[in-house]
């Protein structure tokens, strides 16, 4: 009878999410022993530890990380803070952070927010306290707000920033920095080498440091090739498809319109492509288009977009490892700030400038 009841109990375990009680019953140990094993505490016999871990594997038991944090002086959860209209960027960001959390047994709390909120610093401090977070991964533009960084540091909150910068800022706060300026230079140079001299530039959101950094790269390339910048070819906007479409229409209305347009990200460039098709243009022969980031927009567009490949998932992953190294003083995790440089990817949306036929 006991074996039958035990078998029935194991069958019930598979029909629902297993609990610590199920693990204890299967391993035939106390709840405290299971807790000590899953928290990797010392003082447990290896034979007992193996038995508990075998039960954990058989049941596919996932410890409750929030309860684990409450029982322990140490927190086992991180926070990811972002404010970005680009869903592909956000998904890649989350994937990179989550991959490290899964490998290391940490939970992850996603926290979208309004980066312009005057009470953002207090909001994030309260988030860390109330959710008992070990630290934060800060994405742009929050990561680039100096007053916010100083507040979090003064509040003794651990964090790592993902920022746009041509070099390590060496400001005493950990970060992963992305050289958007150099990549934007490469894109603009590619268009110039195809014969384009009238190159439109569509800005992303000004609250993101990546926008002025990409504009600086565009400006530097024009200067190096002795091409005078034309203010009419530079259009403000946000990192969105709609702003790309509107910006392109504005440039198309110029008497001397551009032969190429550089959108500050792939969503903007996809909006330019849609506007060009609506205007009956043949891309890339009537208009060359380039974007930035190498998001799915760049690959799925027709023609596929020339862009700069930004390894967002790897950037987020490294930022998370850097945060854990700060928290745990681990010798295996990376130490020190690290830079990433997006790489030019040439696709079918750019071509040599079309020379008009000579007239009589």
268-319: pLDDT as tens digits: 999 999 999 999 999 999 999 999 999 887 888 899 999 999 999 999 999 9
Is the pLDDT score of 338 beyond 70? yes
User: With b meaning 16 or more CB within 10 Å and e meaning fewer, what string describes 106-145?
Assistant: bbbbebeeebeeeebbeebbebbeebbbbbbbbbbbbbbb
pLDDT for position 5:
47
pLDDT for position 10:
47
- CA–CA separation, 169 and 166 (whole Å): 9
Q: Tell me which residue range forms the domain holding 317.
A: 74-179+312-342
Other CB atoms within 10 A of residue 164 CB: 20
Domain membership flag for residue 354: no
Pair 191, 293 in one domain: yes
Find out whether 284 and 260 touch, Cβ atoms under 8 Å: no
Pair 265, 319 in one domain: no
Pair 229, 194 in one domain: yes
Other CB atoms within 10 A of residue 324 CB: 24
Domain membership flag for residue 96: yes
Is the pLDDT score of 160 beyond 90? yes
Pair 170, 188 in one domain: no
Pair 297, 195 in one domain: yes
CATH of the domain at 292: 3.40.50.2300
Domain count, the chain: 3
Query: What does the pLDDT look like over 58-96, one tens digit per residue?
Result: 787 766 555 555 445 567 789 999 988 777 888 899 999
Domain membership flag for residue 355: no
Pair 191, 301 in one domain: yes
- CA–CA separation, 208 and 30 (whole Å): 53
Domain membership flag for residue 69: no
Pair 244, 270 in one domain: yes
Domain membership flag for residue 57: yes
Pair 167, 194 in one domain: no
- CA–CA separation, 334 and 275 (whole Å): 44
Domain membership flag for residue 78: yes
**Per-residue confidence at 223, pLDDT binned at 50, 70, 90?**
very high
Structure tokens at 317: 């992953």
Pair 241, 337 in one domain: no
Domain membership flag for residue 113: yes
pLDDT for position 18:
80
Q: How far is CA 215 from the centre of its chain?
A: 21
Is the pLDDT score of 203 beyond 50? yes
The alpha-carbon radius of gyration of the chain (Å, integer) is 26
């Amino acid at each position: 009878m006991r074996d039958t009841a035990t078998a029935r109990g194991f069958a019930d375990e598979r029909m629902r999410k297993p609990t610590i009680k199920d693990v204890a019953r299967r391993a035939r140990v106390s709840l405290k022993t299971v807790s000590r094993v899953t928290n990797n505490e010392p003082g447990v016999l290896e034979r007992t530890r193996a038995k508990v871990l075998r039960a954990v594997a058989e049941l596919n038991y996932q410890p409750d990380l929030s309860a684990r944090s409450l029982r322990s002086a140490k927190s086992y959860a991180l926070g990811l803070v972002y404010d970005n209209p680009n869903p592909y960027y956000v998904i890649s960001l989350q994937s990179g952070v989550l991959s490290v959390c899964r490998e290391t047994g940490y939970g992850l709390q996603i926290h979208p927010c309004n980066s312009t909120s005057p009470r953002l610093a207090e909001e994030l401090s309260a988030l860390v306290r109330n959710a008992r977070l070990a630290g934060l991964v800060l994405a742009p533009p929050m990561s680039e707000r100096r007053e916010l960084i100083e507040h979090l540091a003064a509040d003794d909150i651990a964090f790592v920033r993902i920022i746009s910068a041509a070099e390590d800022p060496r400001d005493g706060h950990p970060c992963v920095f992305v050289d958007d300026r150099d990549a934007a230079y490469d894109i603009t140079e590619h268009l110039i080498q195809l014969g384009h001299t009238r190159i439109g530039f569509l800005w992303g959101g000004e609250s993101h440091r990546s926008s002025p950094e990409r504009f600086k790269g565009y400006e530097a390339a024009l200067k190096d090739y002795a091409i005078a910048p034309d203010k009419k070819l530079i259009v403000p906007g946000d990192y969105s498809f709609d702003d790309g479409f509107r910006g392109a229409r504005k440039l198309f209305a110029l008497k001397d319109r551009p032969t190429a347009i550089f959108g500050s990200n792939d969503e903007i460039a996809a909006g330019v492509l849609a506007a060009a098709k609506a205007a009956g243009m043949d891309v890339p022969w009537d208009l060359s288009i380039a974007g930035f980031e190498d998001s799915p927009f760049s690959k799925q567009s027709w023609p596929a977009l020339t862009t700069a490949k930004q390894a967002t998932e790897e950037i987020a992953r490294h930022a998370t490892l850097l945060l854990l190294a700060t928290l745990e003083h681990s010798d295996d995790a990376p130490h020190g700030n690290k830079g990433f440089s997006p790489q030019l990817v040439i696709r079918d949306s750019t071509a040599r400038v079309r020379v008009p036929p000579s007239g009589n």
